[in-house]
Structure 1
Amino acid sequence: MSLEVWAAFAAASAVLLVIPGPTILLVVSYALGQGWRTALPMAVGVALGDFTAMTLSMLGIGALLMASATVFTVLKWIGAAYLIYLGVKLFRAGGTLDANPRTDAVSASKMLVHAWLVTALNPKSITFFVAFLPQFLNREADFWTQMAIFEATFLTLAFANAFGYALVASRARSLVRNPRAITLFNRTGGTLLVGAGVATVAMRSSH
């Protein structure tokens, strides 16, 4: 795997992870209600959930790799279009972050399990990975080595992202609820996401 491909994967993953989906809304909800102590268990739960969804997706992609080069190529183009679609959607999302504080007392282990279940059982997670990962896989290289590198990279970023969201939400509640800040955040993320989709197409075309 080239450094260029890995860097592109890491950059696209980082942008995708900061999009406030169901998992991040759950993290923010707990942090708003119970403070910084939620950061570690929620981050671990999110990482485990992404590990579950990503592993299931990678196994399906591995089967596609062996089945048909044409199907795999089509999936890569669909994935690039999907990234651009997500970027446009995020850009137009506006300034709302629908996360209500969870004030009910919950143990760290229950928070971890809750985060794991929400992340792993979200149908969009597996669909997302199936569309996203083929952008960066090389059919000529060892699949399992690539899988290990991509999973380790994504899970590290997922943990850091959830941990960061929890800390920001617990310390800067006004920022989390500031429409202008969220609008700027969404538009920046959307632009980067569209760029990631275009870059993956250009990267393939240059080889």
Structure 2
Amino acid sequence: MVFVVAGLLLNVTPGPDVLYIASCSMRQGWKSGAVAALGISAGCFIHITAAAFGLSALLMASATSFAVLKICGAAYLIYVGVSLMVQRPATAASPAAVPARLRKVFLQGFLTNALNPKVALFFLAFVPQFINSGATEKAAAFLFLGAVFNFNSMLWNLLVAWSAAQASGKLRNSGAAAWMNRCIGGLFVALGIKLAFAKSA
């Protein structure tokens, strides 16, 4: 129970994942935000699996590896931010274009999470606190707790997607949509710059 409550409190903290989900919902509606949430959850499973089997610990122990992942993640966030800043507000897409657009949303959500070394550091620091030091199957326990955290996180992210879509329904069809894109893009660029200067510990 303590693990679930602590995880939920951490989930509500704003970050690149929540910002990306909100931006998709605000620009393209609830379905886009939900797909973004699923992509982020998929990226989170990469970190959970890597941490459970010790791969994340090896990565974080190497300053070079951490720096490479950090720069890739920062560059990607800045790329997404700049793309949003220069993008025109979305118009009604043709039925044939919707699947392709949603695939892109899913992939971007996946990469936003998977390329963030801070997520790997989080799982290495947070989850082991809830695993008995004498447990014989620590990897299995880590995977289970990680799955619980990710499931709860997805529920929260879906709520964020729905709330953002409801709050911005009118903006998507007004001149304010372009400014909304620029503001969200600017936040992504700022987060990318912040990540670029982040330290491993």
**Pairwise same-fold verdict (TM > 0.5):** yes
- Select 1:120's aligned residue among 102, 114, 117: 114
- Asked whether the equivalents of residues 46 and 158 of structure 1 are also in contact (C-alpha less than 8 Å), the reply is no
Q: What's the C-alpha RMSD, in Å, of the aligned pairs?
A: 2.6
Instruction: Assess, with a 3 A threshold, how the Cα gap between structure 1 residues 164 and 172 changes in structure 2: closer, same or farther.
Output: same
Task: Tell me the TM-score normalised to structure 1 length.
Answer: 0.58
- Map of 1:144 onto structure 2: 139
Q: CA deviation at 1:20?
A: 1.0
After the TM superposition, which segments of 4 or more aligned residues of structure 1 sit over 6 Å from their partners? 61-64
Superposed counterparts of 1:169-184, under 5 Å: 169-173=164-168
Percent identity reads 32
Q: Could you give the per-residue CA deviations for residues 84-142 of structure 1, whole angstroms, max 9, x where no partner exists?
A: xxxxxxxxxxxxxxxx7974477111111100000111111111111111211112122
Task: Tell me the TM-score normalised to structure 2 length.
Answer: 0.59
- Asked whether the equivalents of residues 32 and 169 of structure 1 are also in contact (C-alpha less than 8 Å), the reply is yes
- Map of 1:39 onto structure 2: 33
Matched, 1:134 2:128: yes
Cα distance in 1, alignment partners of residues 140 and 33 from structure 2: 31
Cα distance in 2, alignment partners of residues 122 and 36 from structure 1: 25
Cα distance in 2, alignment partners of residues 62 and 116 from structure 1: 17
Q: Which moved more, 1:114-123 or 1:151-160?
A: 151-160
- Asked whether the equivalents of residues 61 and 134 of structure 1 are also in contact (C-alpha less than 8 Å), the reply is no
Q: CA deviation at 1:46?
A: 1.1
1:30 partner letter: C
- In structure 2, runs of 5+ residues without a counterpart are 59-83, 94-99, 170-201
Q: How many residues align?
A: 133
Cα distance in 1, alignment partners of residues 126 and 5 from structure 2: 13
> Secondary structure of 2:27's match?
helix
- Select 1:57's aligned residue among 17, 27, 51: 51
Q: Could you give the per-residue CA deviations for residues 128-172 of structure 1, whole angstroms, max 9, x where no partner exists?
A: 111111211112122133123202201211211211111000002
